[in-house]
Amino acid sequence: MAGGRTALLHQYVPYPFHITRPFYPNPPRPDLAALYLQSASGGVYAGDDLSLALEVGQGAAAHVTTQSATIVHACEAAPARLTTSASVAAGGFLAYLPDPLVLFPAADVAATLDITLHNGARAIIADAAAMHDPRGEGRAFARFHGAITVRDASGAVRLSDRGGVDGAALSGPGVLGGWRAWGLLLVLGPANLLPDPAALEAAADAAGCFAGASAAPGGLGLAVRLLGPDGGTLGRCIAALAADAAQALTGCRLLARGK
C-alpha cells in the first residue's frame, strides 16, 4: 500500500513478460489495483519454462489478469512448463484471473499454481484451458497437466487439486461431449462472505457454460468446476463469476479495462 491505494512496489520482468502500469478502474474500491500481464513471444513454445511470482502485501488488493488467452504451440521437441506462485498477506485480496490457455495441436504443457494465504487473506483464483485446432481438422493437443495447491501461513497444504489428460482422450465424442474448454474457479475467504453457490451456477448457465459449485476442503471457500464450448466463452464466464464473487468478498465488483 502507498498513499492509500495498492501500488506496484517492485518488479523484475525479463523476456517474454511485460506488465502494464497499475490501473484503478473500480470507483467503490479506489485502492484496488488492476494489473495486466503481457507476453512479447506470441505464446508458449516447446521447452519453455516460465515462472511468475506475485506478492500481495498486508491490506493490499490486486486484480491480476492477462492481455488475452495464451496459446500453447506444438511441443514435439520438449514439453513446456508454467509455474505460478502467489502469496497474499494478512487482510490482502488477490483476484488472479488469467484468460484460458489455448492448446494447439501437439501442445504439451504442465501448469502449476501455488497459493499461500495468510490469516484474513481472501482470493479468487482461476485456472482454465481449451483445445483448439486453427485448421479445423480436429487435431489433438498432446498432453495437459494442471496442479493447484493452496497453503496457509505455516506452509501447510490446505487444498491440492491435480489432474492430467492426453488430448487424444478428448478428441472424440464421450468424455466432454461438445465442451471444448474446462476450468476451476476458487473463491477463498470466510464462510460469511462467500457468494451463493447456486447463484454462481446460474450465472455460468446464463453465460453459456456449465458449472458445479461446492465447498472447498477445510472451510477455505468454494470450488467451481466449469465447462465451456470454447475458450472465449469460458473466459467471459469466469470473469462474470469472479465479479460476483468479488462483490461478496470485498463489497466491490471487479471492473477491468477492455482487452
DSSP labels, the chain: -BTTB---------TTEEEPPPB---TT-TT-EEEEEEESSSSB-TT-EEEEEEEE-TT-EEEEEESSPEEE---SSS-EEEEEEEEE-TT-EEEEEPPPEEE-TT-EEEEEEEEEE-TT-EEEEEEEEEE--TTSS-PPPSEEEEEEEEE-TT--EEEEEEEEEEHHHHSSSSSSTT--EEEEEEEES-GGGPPPHHHHHHHHHHTT-EEEEEEPGGG-EEEEEEEESSHHHHHHHHHHHHHHHHHHHHSS-------
Prediction pTM value: 0.92
User: Which residues have C-beta within 8 Å of that of residue 212, sequence separation ≥ 6?
Assistant: 201, 224, 225
d(CA 111, CA 201) in angstroms, rounded, equals 25
pLDDT for position 257: 62
pLDDT at 2: 52
Q: Which residue type occupies 82? A: L
pLDDT at 241: 97
pLDDT string in tens for the chain (259-residue length): 455 677 777 777 777 888 888 888 888 888 899 999 988 888 999 999 999 999 999 999 999 999 889 999 999 999 999 999 999 999 999 999 999 999 999 999 999 999 999 999 999 999 999 999 999 998 999 999 999 999 999 999 999 999 999 998 887 666 677 799 999 999 999 999 999 999 999 999 999 999 999 999 989 999 999 999 999 999 999 999 999 999 999 998 887 666 6
Burial class (CB in 10 A: 0-12, 13-18, 19+), 245: buried
Written as nine digits, the cell of 126 is 482461476
- Give the per-residue pLDDT at 20: 80
Cβ neighbours of 119 (radius 10 Å): 9
